Amino acid sequence: MPRRTDIHRIMVIGSGPIVIGQACEFDYSGTQACKVLRAEGFDVALVNSNPATIMTDPGFADRTYIEPLTPASVLAILERERPDAVLPTLGGQTALNVSVALAESGDLDRLGIRLIGATLEAIRKAEDRSGFQRAMVDAGLEVPRSGIATTVDQALRLGEEIGYPVIVRPSFTLGGGGSGFASSRDELETLAARSLEISPATEILVEESIAGWKEFELEVMRDGADNAVIVCSIENVDPMGVHTGDSITVAPQQTLSDREYQVMRDAAIACVRAIGVETGGSNVQFAVDPRTGRQVVIEMNPRVSRSSALASKATGFPIAKIAALLAAGYRLDEVTNDITGETPAAFEPTLDYVVVKIPRFAFEKFPEASPVLSSTMKSVGETMAIGRTFKEALGKAWRGIEKSGFDLGSAAVDERPAREELLASLRDGTEHRLHLVEAALEAGWSVDEVAAASAIDPWFVDQIAEVVEGATSIDGRALHTLGATELREAKRLGMSDPRIAMLTGATDAAVRRHREALGVTPVFKTVDTCGGEFPATTPYHYSAYEDESEVRPADRPRIVILGAGPNRIGQGIEFDYACVHAAFALEEAGFESVMINSNPETVSTDYDTSSRLYFEPLSAEDVLAVCRAERPAGVIAQFGGQTPLRLARVLQDEGFPILGTSPDAIDLAEDRGKFAEVLAELGIPAPPHGEARTIAEARQVASSIGYPVVVRPSYVLGGRAMEIVYDDDELELFVRTAAEASPDHPVLIDRFLEGAIEVDVDAVCDGTDVFIGAIMEHIEEAGVHSGDSSCQIPPATLSDDELDTIEHITRRLARRLGVVGLLNLQLAVKDERIWVLEANPRASRTVPFVSKVVGVALARVATLVVAGRTLADLELEGVLPGDPHHYRRLPATSVKAAVLPFDRFPGVDTILGPEMRSTGEVMGIDVDPGMALAKAMVAAGHALPTRGTVFVSVANRDKRAIVFPAGRLAAMGFRVLATSGTAGVLERAGIRVERVAKVSEGPHNVAELIRDGAIDLVINTPFGRSPRSDGWRIRTASAAAGVPCVTTLPGVFAALRGIEALRGAPTEPRSLQEHHDVARAEPRQARLTFAEAAAVADATSADGWS
């Protein structure tokens, strides 16, 4: 059964912005699919709203649509593209749900478009919890006792029947969204209500809780001829009850005998057949009762998933790529295994190593949220590590997670909890659970006691016990007394140099030197899918403390690219995008690219992205080991975000040259003190600032600078722990908490430029010339972290003079700092003056956005420059546009909007501030600027209403400015509600407005209205920072009910423009390629008028709009 000939044009649907539960893994899968389908000669069109992805680079599909992933917008594209088929199984839950909607609406049939990979029926069966349960029972597979409810009453009745505790699981959601446990009627009542709300099908499963059982996952591949193989088995170290996405997991499974495993294998294949997934990858989740071995099926995803990405990286079997080929008609035995190059893909990979995945959490950014792990996924990223034993892999994973101290074992939990506490915290696991396991073992608990308390299998606990014993045996010893054998044992147990340093009271560097002097260094093994049975053709390596290394010499000079490690808030897919481009560009420049990264979700960790792949933690010892093995011409540190910058110095010192911007230059920009001096020296304005170590000092600095001020601990990243304070009390409060956050680090205090326009610049410098990628104007004012605010190209309100000045500043700074490669500048424009907020001498979050908008791959340009080319050459070759103002004259407007995870953290205030909290971003592009805004907002999940009811409640300082937009909304026929204060102002402006009670004013208040869905749009600008204020109640209610809630004035005007555009005639979607062609053809100035509107508003005296 070769490639099907009845299909020529295929539409691939992406997964949209990075959200908790859906991350880069779908860029990886979509990219693989697009690549292989085009190689097979299909005409591929792609839609995805996420500009930070590799797959949305113009080169990866024939036509790339960066448009919202709503049924309406995808339909518009389908109408235009008329593909023969839609591939819905590689874009996560998002693609699946959109496809289901369009199939059910009959549009696909009307347009004669097929779903390939999975039929509508199969998707329904798998995703709809009741259908799934029936299918499983029919197939003779066991499932937990459960029932389906579509109302709260039904849910409660089921609760009584099944008996508490129960778990509630909504249909068609991802990452356990809306799921949770209820141990009583009351708990179930609230939980069921919320889950029904969240489920697109308002259907929930109420199920017997089997929390504490063992959880497993099998990755199944099936082809059109019904051949099925298991690609990988995954065992969760955490028990049932902790979402797989939040669980520490291991591949292959460790604790099932072959007899039990084969039963599970049969069940997984039976499940896929029962659901009727025609071709491709699916994952099936199982629970096993540790006392009896009883196996039950938990769920299956009829699509490529996060665990498929993990399985692909863990085995070397490219699930997404092969899924695409199978969907295109091939059989498994017709596809070759890239890694052996000779054997077919119709086989089951076997591992001769252990893979451990550890999720990365961001609770520090959501202090109000509970840190206890549950069935609702909360992690924002993950790291994967490969070792020859579980212990070795676990130790590497702790380094890979890049959270300071996590690789130090039990030392990561500073205070030793008492027995009762320990019992409790072992039961309700947090991200520190394995550290607590160590603590308990150190405290003398037996393996079985710990296993019983934590519901973690004794086998895993005993593995950790071995590490603890190893640590104890060297604890307190002097480093030089450790011989080669002992050190080697410690390393084989997965202990990091820093941990050994802590135990022996030496420095990390001392441990490393002693170790290397004794010849205790890792070798590099190969991931080959076959346990060594066949030679591997792909250099995909991992380190291990063993005898024999398999690294082969290379014929071309090698350059190491340091990746970005696990996703985290502030450092996500954007940086992987840059690393991937670096790899491509190095090949182009005649080098072998050597990728080091530890994030299994990414394109960069695909074995065919770089010439050589090292799946390793980005920690000093691991990166140095790779460099010693590869002896590269140099190392590139500027694409992986902050992670590689921290390694640049040590690499340099150990004799591995950092190519491009030097560590000293990095330091000059990163060290806020030194940077301030540079600015002063160049006479570039910066906000007045100072440092303080004590509260008294802080008060003094603040008063000399003048409130409001921005305060932050000196080490910050991603605006971590950064705040705007308006008076001494707030300041005092902050200095306490911040001082806690970073002991013996000063607090930095800057004048807060209130109401300033924030600007981002991405540029490339070759040491002489500077290429300005684009200047982005933020929509929210400075004070909202650049990562959380929306921005647009071309800039909206900045004058050409201002743009010129910003370009001038960028050029001078780039040269003065000694940047070679990428530079990101953040500035603020206030009262005709331009201030520099910070400079990042590296790839930034906005690089992919800019690259897509202006049609120049900045990361590629930067890499070529780092590799020795000059910008002048590149301009001559037409890589760069001749017009230095290219970005100002684009025919279309592009808007980037952030996506925030508030739905995951109920009760967290949604006010935007200087601390970044967004997980991802989307882009809206359109010739009509208003439509570009609307698209960005819709894509970000804030479906703007075109009619209905708007609630307005703004801070006093915003009352004048709100009159204009409120009037416009009323004029457009919106019903306007407001709280007394705001209502008064609007009435005086002649706007018809209804008063509603504040929450503090008792029942029938606005929060209730929001909850009951009586309000379609909320406009609420903060009344200061009081935690449980009315404002907070309104915003959290909106977040919970999924009602769009605008919290800044510029945001209001943007929304207004969006609504106006949506009410007008729809514009035709255009592919990125078309936009670029037009831009090259006839550049013309585009301007956004919401800003003019803002101007009008400020002028408007209160009259006129009724």
Partner 1 sequence: MRGRAALLVLEDGSTFRGSGFGADGETFGEAVFNTGMAGYQEVLTDPSYAGQIVTMTYPHQGNYGLNDEDPESFRIQVAGFAVREASRRPSSWRSGTSVRDALAAAGIVGIEGIDTRRLTLRLRTHGAMRAAISTDDLDEASLIARVRESAGMEGADLARTVSAPRPYEAASLVGPAATDRGKVFRVAAYDFGLKRNILRLLAASGIEAIVVPAETPADEVAGAGYDGVFLSNGPGDPSATRYGVAAVRDLLGRVPVFGICLGHQLLGLALDGRSYKMKFGHRGVNQPVERRRTGAVEITSHNHGFAIDAGAWETDDDGIVRTPHGRVELSHRNLNDGTLEGLRCLDVPAFSVQYHPEAAPGPHDSRYLFDEFRSLMAERERERAEEAV
Residues forming contacts to ligand ADP in the complex (CB under 6 A) are 144, 167, 169, 174-176, 179, 207-211, 215, 240-244, 285, 298-299, 375, 687, 710, 716, 718-719, 722, 750-753, 756, 758, 782-786, 826, 828, 837-838, 914
Q: Which does 292 bind (CB under 5 to 8 A by kind): Mg ion, partner 1, ligand ADP, none?
A: partner 1
C-alpha separations of 762 from 526, 571, 787, 1032, 1058 in Å: 38, 16, 14, 35, 27
Residue at 207: amino acid letter:
E
Q: Which does 718 bind (CB under 5 to 8 A by kind): ligand ADP, Mg ion, partner 1, none?
A: ligand ADP
- Identify which range of 108-116, 259-267, 668-676, 948-956 contacts partner 1 by CB under 8 A: 259-267
Sole binder of Mg ion in the list 295, 567, 599, 786 (CB under 5 A): 786
Judged by beta carbon, residue 176 or residue 967, the one nearer Mg ion is 176
Q: Which does 832 bind (CB under 5 to 8 A by kind): ligand ADP, partner 1, Mg ion, none?
A: none
Compute the chain's Rg from CA coordinates. Answer: 28
Judged by beta carbon, residue 198 or residue 544, the one nearer ligand ADP is 198
259 near partner 1, rule: CB under 8 A: yes
In whole angstroms, the minimum distance from the beta carbon of 928 to partner 1 comes to 54
Estimate the share of the chain in helix, then strand, then coil, as percent rounded to the nearest 5: 40, 20, 40
Judged by beta carbon, residue 337 or residue 919, the one nearer ligand ADP is 919
Count of C-beta atoms within a 10 Å radius of residue 527? 25
- Identify which range of 241-249, 343-351, 404-412, 1043-1051 contacts partner 1 by CB under 8 A: 343-351
- Identify which range of 110-118, 308-316, 326-334, 731-739 contacts partner 1 by CB under 8 A: 326-334
Compute the distance between CA of residue 45 and CA of residue 82 in angstroms, rounded to an integer.
10
Residue where the block lists tokens 């100002």 = 888
Judged by beta carbon, residue 236 or residue 619, the one nearer Mg ion is 236
**C-alpha torsion angle, residues 964, 968, 974, 976 (rounded to 10):** 10
In whole angstroms, the minimum distance from the beta carbon of 603 to partner 1 comes to 28
Compute the distance between CA of residue 5 and CA of residue 155 in angstroms, rounded to an integer.
49
Compute the distance between CA of residue 675 and CA of residue 661 in angstroms, rounded to an integer.
15
452 near partner 1, rule: CB under 8 A: no
In whole angstroms, the minimum distance from the beta carbon of 25 to ligand ADP comes to 13
Q: Are 926 and 939 in contact (CB under 8 A)?
A: no
Q: Which does 243 bind (CB under 5 to 8 A by kind): Mg ion, partner 1, ligand ADP, none?
A: ligand ADP
Number of residues near partner 1 (by CB under 8 A): 56
Judged by beta carbon, residue 39 or residue 682, the one nearer ligand ADP is 682
Q: Which does 240 bind (CB under 5 to 8 A by kind): partner 1, ligand ADP, Mg ion, none?
A: ligand ADP
Cβ neighbors of 808 (< 8 A, separation 6 or more) are none
Sole binder of partner 1 in the list 62, 127, 457, 777 (CB under 8 A): 457
Q: Are 867 and 659 in contact (CB under 8 A)?
A: yes
Q: Are 1067 and 930 in contact (CB under 8 A)?
A: no
Judged by beta carbon, residue 305 or residue 602, the one nearer ligand ADP is 305
Q: Which does 638 bind (CB under 5 to 8 A by kind): partner 1, Mg ion, ligand ADP, none?
A: none
Compute the distance between CA of residue 497 and CA of residue 486 in angstroms, rounded to an integer.
13
Both tokens of residue 985?
């102002």
Which class for 824: exposed (0-12), middle (13-18), buried (19 or more C-beta within 10 A)? buried
Q: Which does 729 bind (CB under 5 to 8 A by kind): Mg ion, partner 1, ligand ADP, none?
A: none
Q: Which does 144 bind (CB under 5 to 8 A by kind): Mg ion, ligand ADP, partner 1, none?
A: ligand ADP
Sole binder of partner 1 in the list 212, 371, 405, 458 (CB under 8 A): 458
Q: Are 1036 and 907 in contact (CB under 8 A)?
A: yes
Q: Which does 447 bind (CB under 5 to 8 A by kind): partner 1, Mg ion, ligand ADP, none?
A: partner 1
In whole angstroms, the minimum distance from the beta carbon of 778 to ligand ADP comes to 8
In this structure, are strands 63-65 and 634-636 parallel, antiparallel, or unpaired? unpaired
Judged by beta carbon, residue 11 or residue 206, the one nearer ligand ADP is 206
239 near partner 1, rule: CB under 8 A: no
In whole angstroms, the minimum distance from the beta carbon of 365 to Mg ion comes to 15
**Looking at beta carbons, which pairs linking 209-212 to residues 24 or more positions away fall under 8 Å?**
209/164, 209/165, 209/166, 209/167, 209/181, 209/241, 210/144, 210/240, 210/287, 210/289, 210/296, 211/165, 211/167, 211/181, 211/239, 211/240, 211/241, 211/455, 212/239, 212/240, 212/241, 212/455
Judged by beta carbon, residue 53 or residue 247, the one nearer ligand ADP is 247
Judged by beta carbon, residue 175 or residue 280, the one nearer ligand ADP is 175
Judged by beta carbon, residue 140 or residue 1027, the one nearer partner 1 is 140
Q: Which does 293 bind (CB under 5 to 8 A by kind): Mg ion, partner 1, ligand ADP, none?
A: partner 1
Q: Are 169 and 240 in contact (CB under 8 A)?
A: no
Q: Give the SS3 label for residue 1053.
A: helix
Which class for 1023: exposed (0-12), middle (13-18), buried (19 or more C-beta within 10 A)? middle
Nearest to 79 by CA among 102, 95, 56: 102
Judged by beta carbon, residue 240 or residue 500, the one nearer Mg ion is 240
In whole angstroms, the minimum distance from the beta carbon of 483 to partner 1 comes to 13
In whole angstroms, the minimum distance from the beta carbon of 819 to ligand ADP comes to 17
Sole binder of partner 1 in the list 293, 341, 706, 884 (CB under 8 A): 293
Residue where the block lists tokens 């919970």 = 1040
Q: Give the SS3 label for residue 762.
A: strand
Compute the distance between CA of residue 871 and CA of residue 862 in angstroms, rounded to an integer.
9
Q: Would residue 1060 be called left, alpha or beta, if left means φ above 0 and alpha means ψ between -120 and 50 degrees?
A: alpha
- Identify which range of 146-154, 530-538, 640-648, 1020-1028 contacts partner 1 by CB under 8 A: 530-538
Both tokens of residue 709?
């001020």
Judged by beta carbon, residue 508 or residue 670, the one nearer ligand ADP is 670
173 near Mg ion, rule: CB under 5 A: no
333 near partner 1, rule: CB under 8 A: yes
Judged by beta carbon, residue 47 or residue 447, the one nearer partner 1 is 447
Residue where the block lists tokens 């609630």 = 951
- Each residue 163-202 as x (binds partner 1 by CB under 8 A) or -, in order, gives ----------------------------------------
Q: Are 206 and 224 in contact (CB under 8 A)?
A: no
Q: Are 782 and 883 in contact (CB under 8 A)?
A: no
In whole angstroms, the minimum distance from the beta carbon of 33 to Mg ion comes to 22
Nearest to 614 by CA among 233, 588, 624: 624
Sole binder of partner 1 in the list 332, 413, 753, 837 (CB under 8 A): 332
Whether residue 344 has a cis bond before it, omega within 30° of 0: no
In whole angstroms, the minimum distance from the beta carbon of 238 to ligand ADP comes to 8
547 near partner 1, rule: CB under 8 A: yes
Sole binder of partner 1 in the list 347, 363, 707, 1023 (CB under 8 A): 347
2 near partner 1, rule: CB under 8 A: no
Nearest to 232 by CA among 248, 251, 246, 247: 251
351 near partner 1, rule: CB under 8 A: yes
Q: Are 707 and 727 in contact (CB under 8 A)?
A: yes
In whole angstroms, the minimum distance from the beta carbon of 112 to partner 1 comes to 31
Query: Site residues (CB under 8 A) for partner 1?
Result: 225-227, 229, 252-259, 261-262, 265-266, 290-293, 331-333, 342-344, 346-354, 388-390, 447, 457-459, 462, 465-466, 489, 525, 530-535, 546-548
